Structure 1
Amino acid sequence: MTDNLKTEPIAVDPAIGSEQRTGLGRLEVPIIGIFCILLLQAMVWASDFLIPVTAAFLGYFVLNRPRRWLARIGIPPVVSAALFTTVLTMVIGLLLVQLSAPAAQFIEDLPSLMERIKNELASAGGTLEKINDASEAAEEIIAEKDAETVEVEVVSNRGIITTIFSMAPGFLSRIMFALVLLFFLVASGDMFLVKTVQSFKRFGDKRKAVGVLYSIEDRLGHYLGGIAIINTGLGIAVALAMYIWGLSSAVIFGFLAFGLNFVPYLGGLMGATIAAAVAFVTLDGTWPAFGVFATYIALTSIEGQLVTPLVISRRMRLNTTVVFLTVAFFAWIWSVMGMVVALPILIVIKIVCDETGSWPTLARFLGDGQNAQTEKEAEPV
């Protein structure tokens, strides 16, 4: 009877398993492609929510190390979170109060400024005037053909001002949401770290997760803190330079330089272009505008080529092409704020690749040519 219960071993054709594995491998490519498309659409659709959330988490990683320092002297995380968010709120409120009057005046003068720039460019050369005449002639021909239609013209001299101020409530609500979320993150102490570690089963994975989070706090905090100090000095230098050149909105250009310098490569160029455009009209000449542009570029070049490499660790060296594409990508999906958070997000991705060792090819690609071990062992200057 025992012999009757014996079963023959089932023969498994290795070709079938190979075909199944090959079929699954072929399905991975379209599945990953669909996931990337859905993820991109979600990032664009939920930008109003994701931008303040991303800013809050970046702020959490930066402030977590100071929060631990305060905890060592007996200050609870809730008190530290209240202190940090209160200081940030006061700084933002002070900036808004101090900049409200000159910014409102600058925005009010912006339409006339653009009109004067257009007139100056038109008088400087005949090309724009010829294009304008051709455009008006084409409009007259179209108007003659559509003479029977009823035309309604809406005149608004304050369209730009209304549009800008209409964006203020949404902008302020995002700032408040980011600050509230930052408070809860910092007040939670190491709960985020504990929950992340608890999500892994193996001790090696837990240890690796702790190392990754500590490395993000260290390197990202060092980078953002150093950049903030450097940008403050750059803003003061640009404001003084613009004041010497005779621009009335020198303070505005100082704060503009501070904010735009968080955007790699493009920030300095945008600030210099705006300053040169204002100088072209207010200083009545091409050479003063060129001088303002050259001064702005010179200050940002000194900051980028001399000051930043001395303050920021060599571990922050990244592939310049990847940095540019990352900034352009986040500018496309998240506008100006996307350009600000693009580099910190790229730094976090680079740190994860370096510390986990799961994507060594991606880690080498994101770097500037140094291997991951060299970047890891490099110490801040």
Structure 2
Amino acid sequence: MAPLGDPAPDAPHDIAALPQLPPQRPPRHPLLVPVTGIFILLTIQALVFASVFLIPVTTAILGYFILNAPRRGLERIGIPAPVAAAIFTLSIAAVLFVGGMLLSDPIYEFVTDIPTLLEQVVAALTGPGGPFEAFAVAADATDEALEQAGAVEPMQVQVVDNAGLAASVAAIAPALLGQIVFAMCLLFFLVASGDLFIQKAVQVADRFENKKQTVRMIRMIETRLGNYLGAITLINIGLGAAIGLGMWWWNMPSPWLIGLMATVFNFVPFVGAVAGASIAAVIAFVSFLDLWAALGVFATYYALTAFEGQFVTPSLVGQRLRLNVTMVFLSVAFFAWIWSIMGMVVAVPMLIVVKVVCDSIPRLRKVGLFLGDAEGFLPEKERPA
């Protein structure tokens, strides 16, 4: 029998030999969920409230990531960053200026003619021989019967002096021009600073591994955005040329303008194709006064965009960038809600940035996998086969 106070013969003499329990996670703070929800709501409200400032800032930052690789290429041949920044910004400004000068008159005429076009469409649909003539006759008969029965009281109409849609567009033009100038100036300073932004981001990181991961994340953002924008621009130019030829085959007025509209609209996923096809169908209906011709123009436009979206873009972009289509749709809807049209344009680039950031942070890799393919940052053993 072992003496009192001595350990049992079969008891371990080394405390390290005892089985180690897994570390216990600290209890979650009860206010974590409500505070996080309040933070998200305040962030969304801030994005909406400061949209006039954040839209050009976001555009300039995305442009900086896209132009970093060309800027480094120019530096390798002896062109300094400020000169490269001036070349880029002046080229973009020249394209915007020339495009604005060439398209200002057609766009202004189209905008001012929108009420007339709608009236013509309604008149053609509900007039004699129109497909909705019976509904119009029934509506007129109902109004006449109500007036004879005395059920409809005279309505007081007040004439309001309003210049119409064209005046509204002209009213927002100065603010839009100011945002463009601000974005161009900020883009110039960002590109002219060279790799200063990257250096500061690296200095913020504590450990060497974090510094290396930060550089890799920024380079991945530049590569993904550059590949996406370059491929999508070439695809949209080809799509615009194909749609222009299709509109010329339909004998549409100004087919080149419709093709250019298709090129610009296709930068907005989902919405751009439907909006462009609808506008082309309205123009066709007003020009030919034929519903079947309008449907044919709509089908031609949408079929070309559908072919591009289902076959051309996946074959050229799909190997470099695979995103969850549902998340792309939600991203476009969200940014359209907070930033209107410009939000729809920057929605996919912003989603790319968020995905790369999630891929680079181990705790957020599941979010990155949900947004799309994350092979660029996954360890070899975790990559999908």
TM over 0.5: yes
C-alpha displacement of 1:206? 0.7
Residue matched to 1:160: 165
For the pair shown, the structure with the greater C-alpha radius of gyration is 2
Residue matched to 1:109: 113
More displaced stretch, 243-252 vs 259-268: 243-252
- Residue 127 of structure 1 is aligned with which of 126, 135, 142? 135
Q: Aligned-residue CA RMSD in angstroms?
A: 2.5
Does the C-alpha gap of structure 1 residues 134 and 263 become closer, same or farther in structure 2, counting only changes over 3 Å? farther
Residue matched to 2:363: 358
C-alpha displacement of 1:355? 2.4
Q: Is the 8 A contact 2:358 2:364 kept in 1?
A: yes
Q: Is the 8 A contact 1:121 1:128 kept in 2?
A: no
C-alpha displacement of 1:116? 0.8
C-alpha displacement of 1:372? 3.5
Residue matched to 1:291: 296
Q: Is the 8 A contact 1:327 1:338 kept in 2?
A: yes
Q: Give the Cα–Cα distance (whole angstroms) in 1 for the partners of residues 351 and 34 of structure 2.
A: 25
C-alpha displacement of 1:92? 0.4
Name the amino acid aligned to 2:234: I
Structure having the higher helix fraction is 1
Percent of aligned pairs with the same amino acid:
47
Q: Is the 8 A contact 2:63 2:187 kept in 1?
A: yes
Deviation per CA, 1:245-299: give whole Å up to 9, x if none: 2222323322221111111122111111111111111111011111111111121
C-alpha displacement of 1:228? 1.1
Deviation per CA, 1:197-246: give whole Å up to 9, x if none: 11111111111100000000011111111111111121222223223322
C-alpha displacement of 1:371? 5.8
Deviation per CA, 1:144-197: give whole Å up to 9, x if none: 4x7xxx7522154x4111111111111111111111110000000000000111
Does the C-alpha gap of structure 1 residues 31 and 82 become closer, same or farther in structure 2, counting only changes over 3 Å? same
Residue matched to 1:9: none
Q: Give the Cα–Cα distance (whole angstroms) in 1 for the partners of residues 83 and 321 of structure 2.
A: 32
Name the amino acid aligned to 2:199: V
More displaced stretch, 347-356 vs 218-227: 347-356
Deviation per CA, 1:343-376: give whole Å up to 9, x if none: 1100111111122333122112112xx5636999
Does the C-alpha gap of structure 1 residues 209 and 170 become closer, same or farther in structure 2, counting only changes over 3 Å? same
Q: Give the Cα–Cα distance (whole angstroms) in 1 for the partners of residues 46 and 302 of structure 2.
A: 37
Residue matched to 2:346: 341
Q: Is the 8 A contact 2:237 2:263 kept in 1?
A: yes
- Residue 234 of structure 1 is aligned with which of 236, 239, 257? 239
Q: Is the 8 A contact 2:265 2:276 kept in 1?
A: yes
Residue matched to 2:69: 65
Q: Give the Cα–Cα distance (whole angstroms) in 2 for the partners of residues 365 and 136 of structure 1.
A: 59
TM-score (norm 1): 0.86
Name the amino acid aligned to 2:160: V
Ranked by relative contact order (alpha carbons within 8 Å, sequence separation 6 or more), the top structure is 1
Residue matched to 1:260: 265
Name the amino acid aligned to 1:127: F
Q: Give the Cα–Cα distance (whole angstroms) in 1 for the partners of residues 74 and 321 of structure 2.
A: 27
Residue matched to 2:44: 40
TM-score (norm 2): 0.85
Does the C-alpha gap of structure 1 residues 152 and 81 become closer, same or farther in structure 2, counting only changes over 3 Å? same
Does the C-alpha gap of structure 1 residues 180 and 141 become closer, same or farther in structure 2, counting only changes over 3 Å? farther
Q: Give the Cα–Cα distance (whole angstroms) in 2 for the partners of residues 192 and 376 of structure 1.
A: 27
Q: Give the Cα–Cα distance (whole angstroms) in 2 for the partners of residues 67 and 136 of structure 1.
A: 71
Q: How does 1:1-381 map to 2 (within 5 A)?
A: 22=27, 24-123=28-127, 124-125=131-132, 126-127=134-135, 130=138, 143-144=153-154, 151-156=157-162, 158-367=163-372, 372=375
Name the amino acid aligned to 1:302: F
Q: Is the 8 A contact 2:124 2:289 kept in 1?
A: no
Name the amino acid aligned to 1:281: V
Q: Give the Cα–Cα distance (whole angstroms) in 2 for the partners of residues 259 and 58 of structure 1.
A: 18
Q: Which runs of 5+ in 1 are unaligned?
A: 1-17
Residue matched to 2:383: none
Q: Which runs of 5+ in 2 are unaligned?
A: 1-23, 381-385
Q: Is the 8 A contact 2:360 2:377 kept in 1?
A: no
Residue matched to 1:11: none
Does the C-alpha gap of structure 1 residues 99 and 371 become closer, same or farther in structure 2, counting only changes over 3 Å? closer
More displaced stretch, 335-344 vs 244-253: 244-253
Q: Give the Cα–Cα distance (whole angstroms) in 1 for the partners of residues 344 and 142 of structure 2.
A: 38
C-alpha displacement of 1:306? 2.4
Does the C-alpha gap of structure 1 residues 135 and 74 become closer, same or farther in structure 2, counting only changes over 3 Å? farther
More displaced stretch, 275-284 vs 59-68: 275-284
Deviation per CA, 1:58-77: give whole Å up to 9, x if none: 11111000000000111000
Name the amino acid aligned to 1:261: N
